[in-house]
Amino acid sequence: MNTIYFVVPCYNEEAVLSETVKILNGQLGALISGGHASAESRILFVDDGSRDRTWELISSYSESETYICGLKLSRNCGHQNAVLAGLMTAKDFADAIISLDADLQDDTAVIPQFVEKFEEGNDIVYGVRKSRTTDTFFKRGTAHGFYKLMSMMGVELVADHADYRLMSKRAVESLSQFREVNLFLRGMMPLIGFKTANVYYERHERFAGESKYPLKKMIAFAIDGITSFSTLPLRIITGAGATVLLISVVILIYALVAKLTGGTQAGWASIVGSIWLIGGIQLLCAGICGEYIGKIYREVKARPHYIIEHFLGK
């Protein structure tokens, strides 16, 4: 019988944690009683440097509840690193690991479908949203635009999939071989290979508390995803530079012809406009190059993704 671990990253989740424990306890208990998970299966909450009572609650639940374990990171390392910490810890005990957020937006009722797909021989099972009806018009439009942009840049992604997924032990062990510091897990999953399947679900409203992904963080996350998996922006810069050079040569020829034929006129507006345009393009190109240089800088230092302060295992 397979041992299944739930990995649940948490950051300031005291408002929702009691309900999350209740629901996940029920789901895991049903899997065990139904013969789909062993009694050694656990729910591993990863405290990502929370500033509220999240770790205090996790510690309490680990003592009072049979299936609850806790992992405390030494500081806030970010959602992706917290998920990775949970996966790397759980792989030593589990045959399959399901990662999901603590806010209960991911529909836990489909967890038996994840396990069913795993039992059919799939190493990675993606949780994919059926629709985005609960999103605002802006968020829905930007999300679809992001997936289209990533596809145009040659990055393989499962559309409308976040970090709600099941991974087999060997899939997680394969993930551990990826050494990059800049994590974008949903882009790394297709690179692992192995057999995959999708489980479709409707995403709920957040049960309690506030979203940990405001617009600023979502934009930064999207930029990380693009620059971590595609060099196309650098190629676009090269193309833009060649295009501007070509236009400049044409304008230079035109200016020389106009000068020789005596048809020159005062052109303050066109000159200023050209300067601003070229200056803006140069700054944009420098910024894109800077993003890649910054990533190289972080990769070269090779600092650890996380440091574990406490582990409450069973």
Read off the pLDDT of residues 172-218 as tens digits, 9 standing for 90 and up.
999 988 888 777 888 888 888 899 999 998 877 655 555 555 556 66
Average pLDDT value over all residues in the chain = 81
- Decide if 227 is inside a domain: no
Residue 60 shares a structural domain with residue 129: yes
How many structural domains are present in the chain?
Answer: 2
pLDDT at 112 over 90: yes
pLDDT at 65 over 80: yes
What's the pLDDT tens digit per position in 266-312? 565 566 556 766 776 776 777 777 777 777 777 777 778 889 999 98
Residue 31 shares a structural domain with residue 19: yes
Query: Strand ranges (DSSP E) for the chain?
Result: 4-10, 42-47, 68-73, 96-99, 124-129, 161-168, 196-201, 308-312
Q: At 65, which CATH number? A: 3.90.550.10
- Decide if 36 is inside a domain: yes
| Dihedral angle sign, alpha carbons of residues 76, 77, 79, 85 | negative
Instruction: Provide the residue range defining the domain that includes 14.
Output: 4-212+304-312
Residue 146 shares a structural domain with residue 252: no
- Decide if 59 is inside a domain: yes
Give the pLDDT of residue 125. 94
- Decide if 221 is inside a domain: no
- Decide if 218 is inside a domain: no
- Decide if 222 is inside a domain: no
What's the pLDDT tens digit per position in 2-40? 899 999 999 999 888 999 999 999 999 999 988 899 999
Residue 285 shares a structural domain with residue 156: no
Residue 28 shares a structural domain with residue 146: yes
- Decide if 102 is inside a domain: yes
- Decide if 42 is inside a domain: yes
Residue 271 shares a structural domain with residue 128: no
Question: How far, in Å, CA of 59 to CA of 68, rounded?
Answer: 9
Give the pLDDT of residue 239. 73
User: Is the whole-model pTM more than 0.85?
Assistant: no
Residue 157 shares a structural domain with residue 286: no
Q: Bigger pLDDT: 298 or 230? A: 298
Q: What phi and psi values does residue 127 have, to the nearest 5 degrees?
A: -90, 115
Q: How far is CA 105 from CA 53, 128, 205, in A?
A: 21, 13, 6
